[in-house]
């Protein structure tokens, strides 16, 4: 799976009073995609929600006494947009847009026709393909992705030796830290130093390495927890050992330490490792075909909208930025907000529903909860808990709850999660563009005060409207800031130097 990379590490508790929709598995949530990421009124108590989320260990078999007796991280279920569980309260946030949808369609149709009349047809699918075929014998990004296997194998070998006692826990921790740090530093160094790699290739490669980092972090944690269980079981009295010794699932530690198990996890659409994932009984060919067709169609649609609508708008925004014409800058920002938000919504469906369900179907992966009804969000925190579930589960399981167990306050733990998320957002943008402006980092950290403001002053439908407004306006601001800085750095600076 990939990091949306929106990524990326979000967690924040819900607010008091939110009713739970039928069929929702709150024990495994807190992701918005994490997403902060239900239903249209009220909020769950924050502390209760965090405490009911999935087991940080998530070893479904119980051959040893469990020091953290909580449910697994992967419930067996379908995607929200498929109506799994018969939920009938999924749509208030989307349906709230319907009263004005006709006006929106007519207004946007006028803008689209204006664009066609002014620029003609700019859509060129061959142009995108040519970017990858420009130099068919030099694909540095693909080479980077292939090299990522080295780090996965290194983590596996460390775990094998820890399982048999050939390494001490301290030595194993040191090796894992070095391996994980190299996973982040190595591709960044290549992207910054190698001139032949393109920004698009850099983004894709860095996303793969970021996902690998999160997966191997989880892989190391879960195996450590299983070793702790094994040690406690050996030290327990014989009677207690017998009571907890019956395995309920086919795989138990250390039998999970195989390349087959490792690579299944690396390709599975999840960031949280388990010894026994929920599995679907068969591959549904019709379902898989629909998802593949959606992927092909929506990819072309996104590329076409970017070429036809966004690129001309961004190009025409450079002069107002250069002249600091604020009225024109605001006009360009509002004009860019429409196609940007439409493309973002299409991307969400393409990635979280089409792509991840296709991968899950191929791998017979049972947990299809990749997102929740973030469109009903009445607070920024609820959005970040529900739009990116894989990232949210990882943050909760491997970051937020471990910080609480080490004595950190909930506020410090939440701030730490947002800080980590901000780092990865900036990492995935600044390194490929070869410039460090911290716009993405600032935007993510700004979610903390924004969440307080929205929850304090906006409730119900007003809160939902505030969340949608931040999504529609906030992203174009970041896009324009990065494009402007990239344009100045790569086009105006060389001309001035000449």
Q: Catalytic site residues?
A: 425
Beta strands in 111-200 (DSSP E): none
Q: Please compute, for residue 490, the number of CA atoms within 13 A of its CA located in the half-sphere on the CB side.
A: 10
Query: How far apart are the C-alpha atoms of 284 and 290, rounded to whole Å?
Result: 10
DSSP state of 272: S
Cβ-contact 346, 9 below 8 angstroms: no
3-class DSSP state of 106: helix
Distance from the Cα of residue 282 to its chain's centroid: 27
- Can you name the residues that pair with 279 across neighbouring β-strands? 365
Q: Tokens 């402007």 appear where?
A: 484
Contacts 24+ apart (CB under 8 A), 133-140: 135/196, 138/196, 139/201, 140/190, 140/194, 140/196, 140/197, 140/201
Q: Which helix (H) or strand (E) holds 131?
A: helix 125-133
3-class DSSP state of 365: strand
Beta strands in 251-406 (DSSP E): none
**How many angstroms separate the Cα of 410 from the Cα of each of 30, 118, 399, 497?**
14, 53, 12, 51
3-class DSSP state of 279: strand
**How many angstroms separate the Cα of 480 from the Cα of each of 28, 142, 333, 346, 453?**
36, 29, 8, 20, 25
Task: For Cα atoms 119, 120, 121, give the angle at the middle one, nearest 5 degrees.
Answer: 120
DSSP state of 288: H
């Amino acid at each position: 799976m990939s990091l949306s990379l929106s990524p990326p590490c979000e967690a924040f508790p819900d607010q008091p009073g939110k009713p739970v929709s039928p069929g929702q598995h709150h024990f495994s949530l807190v992701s918005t995609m994490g997403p902060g990421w239900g239903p249209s009124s009220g909020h769950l108590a924050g502390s209760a929600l965090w405490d009911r989320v999935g087991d940080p260990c998530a070893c479904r078999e119980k051959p040893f006494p469990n020091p953290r007796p909580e449910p697994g991280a992967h419930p067996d279920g379908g995607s929200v947009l498929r109506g799994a569980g018969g939920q009938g309260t999924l749509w208030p946030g989307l349906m709230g847009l319907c009263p004005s949808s006709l006006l929106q369609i007519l207004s946007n149709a006028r803008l689209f026709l204006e664009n066609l009349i002014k620029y003609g047809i700019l859509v060129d699918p061959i142009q995108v393909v040519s970017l990858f075929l420009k130099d068919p014998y030099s694909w540095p990004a693909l080479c980077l992705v292939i090299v990522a296997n080295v780090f996965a194998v290194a983590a596996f070998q460390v775990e094998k030796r820890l399982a048999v006692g050939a390494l001490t826990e301290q030595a194993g921790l040191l090796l894992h830290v070095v391996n994980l740090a190299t996973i982040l530093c190595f591709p960044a160094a290549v992207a910054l130093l190698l001139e032949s790699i393109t920004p698009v290739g850099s983004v894709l490669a860095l996303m793969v390495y970021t996902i690998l980092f999160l997966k191997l972090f989880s892989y190391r944690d879960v195996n450590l927890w299983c070793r702790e269980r094994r040690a406690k079981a050996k030290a327990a009295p014989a009677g207690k050992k017998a009571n907890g010794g019956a395995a309920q699932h086919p795989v138990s530690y250390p039998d999970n330490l195989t390349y087959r198990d490792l690579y299944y996890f690396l390709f599975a659409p999840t960031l949280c490792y388990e010894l026994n994932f929920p599995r679907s009984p068969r591959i549904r060919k019709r379902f898989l075909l629909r998802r593949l067709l959606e992927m092909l169609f929506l990819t072309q649609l996104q590329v076409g909208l970017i070429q036809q609508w966004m690129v001309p708008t961004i190009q025409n925004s450079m002069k107002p930025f250069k002249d600091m014409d604020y009225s024109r800058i605001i006009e360009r920002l509002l004009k860019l907000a429409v196609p940007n938000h439409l493309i973002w919504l299409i991307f969400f469906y393409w990635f979280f529903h089409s792509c991840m369900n296709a991968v899950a179907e191929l791998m017979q992966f049972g947990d299809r909860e990749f997102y929740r009804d973030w469109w009903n969000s009445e607070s920024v925190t609820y959005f970040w808990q529900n739009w990116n579930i894989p990232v949210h589960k990882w943050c909760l399981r491997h970051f937020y709850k471990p910080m609480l167990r080490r004595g950190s306050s909930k506020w410090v733990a939440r701030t730490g999660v947002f800080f980590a998320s901000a780092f990865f957002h900036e990492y995935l943008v600044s390194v490929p563009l070869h410039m460090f402006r911290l716009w993405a980092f600032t935007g993510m950290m700004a979610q903390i005060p924004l969440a307080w403001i929205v929850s304090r002053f906006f409730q119900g439908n007003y809160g939902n409207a505030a969340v949608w407004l931040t999504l529609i306006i906030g992203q174009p601001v970041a896009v324009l800031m990065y494009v402007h800085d990239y344009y100045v750095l790569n086009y105006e600076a060389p001309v001035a130097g000449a």
